[in-house]
Amino acid sequence: MNHSALHPAGLHAAQIAHLGWIFLAVSCVVYVVVIGILIVVLVQRRRHGSDPTTLSRAERRALTSVGIAVGITTVLVTCLAVSEFLTRRTLEQDTGEPLRVRIIGHQWWWEVQYQSDTAAGQVQTANELHIPVGRPVQLQMTSQDVIHSFWVPNLQGKRDLIPGHTTHIVLVADQAGRYEGQCAEFCGFQHAKMRIVVDAQRPADFDAWRQAQLQPAREPASEQEKRGKQVFDSGTCVMCHSIQGSPAGGTIGPDLTHVGSRSSIAAGALPNTPQTLALWISNPPAIKPGTTMPAAALSGEDLLSLALYLESLK
């Protein structure tokens, strides 16, 4: 679903949307009343004329109305501030036993780590957040470099990711579906290509996804995939990327253990197919100028084998 704060799919987003509609309705009423009074006064002035040296009865009446209007404005602004405060408080309430996920912002991608009491239960992925419908998910967020902002409008408001500091946000999805999000804080050249997708799944589907992600990477099956793995292991890829169950243990770039199961690559810059992956690997700066991933000097055959191997990692 395209991101829209007007179509809430979760408790928190619904509260924010509700507050937004209250603000809009109050503002509209105030606007109509103010413009209405202005028109009435202007028409009256035109009809009766005015003497600038004395206050007419109508003008004295107008001054009293201004006093009343200031009083009403104070009451309205106070009510709106209180409703905003109450909404914010309910948004930050921790509910039950949430699923805990750590999110780390990078220029320009999202590192996603599912927390677990045991090291074996931790899932690492990137740019895609899978969550079970109906269960609160607590995101513990920080940044590796500059300030980013996590924003999936259908599910929650924005929250900054700040280097050296952890911020929290809780979200719940009421309906299964894919919800798109976007980094909402200018974080450099490729800020616009820093998308995130939240896939809200039925609890059984989520458990199946999590189990699949916990498995080590699939071994290459075909000759071409074997060649691709060789290219990966013997080249510079391993300095930045990890593939669980293989010697590759780099931590600078996204974990690639199940990269083939993701819907897009380069934080939503391209759909995930062997062709786009080969295009990306051959020259990342052409697609995301400023990215830290360098172009790989590979022969056409090596490049294709590498892309097919990575796509096989479902």
Binding site for ligand CUA (CB under 6 A): 105, 108, 148, 183, 185-187, 191, 194
Contacts for 118 with CB less than 8 Å, ≥ 6 apart: none
Structure-token match 């780099």, residue found: 250
Q: Which residues contact 216 (CB under 8 A, 6 or more apart)?
A: 244, 245, 246, 257
Identity of the residue, 144 or 230, whose beta carbon is nearer to ligand CUA in the bound complex: 144
DSSP, collapsed to helix, strand or coil, labels residue 39 as helix
> Pick from 126, 76, 78: which is nearest to 106 by CA?
126
Report whether 254 contacts 123 (CB < 8 A): no
**Least distance in angstroms from the C-beta of 308 to ligand CUA:** 31
Q: Which is nearer to ligand CUA, 45 or 191 (CB)?
A: 191
Residue closer to ligand CUA by CB (options 267, 308) is 267
For residue 167, the minimal CB distance to ligand CUA (Å) is 14
With CA atoms as reference, report the closest residue to 106 among 232, 198, 2, 241. Answer: 241
* Cα 152 from Cα 117, distance rounded (Å): 27
The least distance separating ligand CUA from the CB of residue 220, rounded to whole angstroms, comes to 34
Nearer to ligand CUA by C-beta: 136 or 268?
Answer: 268
Q: Please, what is the minimum distance in Å from the beta carbon of residue 78 to ligand CUA?
A: 35
Name the residue nearer to ligand CUA (CB basis): 108 or 309. Answer: 108
- Tell me the closest approach of the beta carbon of residue 57 to ligand CUA, in angstroms: 59
| Shortest distance, position 183 Cβ to ligand CUA, whole Å | 3
Residue with tokens 């009421």: 174
Kindly state the smallest distance separating residue 3's Cβ from ligand CUA, in Å.
14
Minimal distance in Å, beta carbon 231 to ligand CUA? 31
CA dist 159 and 255 (Å) reads: 24
The radius of gyration computed from the CA coordinates of the chain, to the nearest angstrom, equals 27
Residue closer to ligand CUA, measured from CB, 181 or 260? 181
In the complex, the smallest distance separating the C-beta of residue 92 from ligand CUA, rounded to whole angstroms, is: 23
Pairing between strand 99-106 and 137-143?
parallel
Residue closer to ligand CUA by CB (options 102, 191) is 191
Whichever of 110 and 209 has its CB closer to ligand CUA, that residue is 110
CB 234 within 8 A of CB 296: no
- State how far the Cα of 314 lies from the Cα of 306, in Å rounded to an integer: 14
For residues 132 and 181, which CB has a smaller minimum distance to ligand CUA in the complex? Answer: 181
How far lies 48's CA from each of 43, 65, 102, in Å?
Answer: 9, 19, 69
| Exposure b/e, 133-170, CB count within 10 A at least 16 = b | bebbbbbebbbeebebbbbbbbbbbebbbbeeeebebb
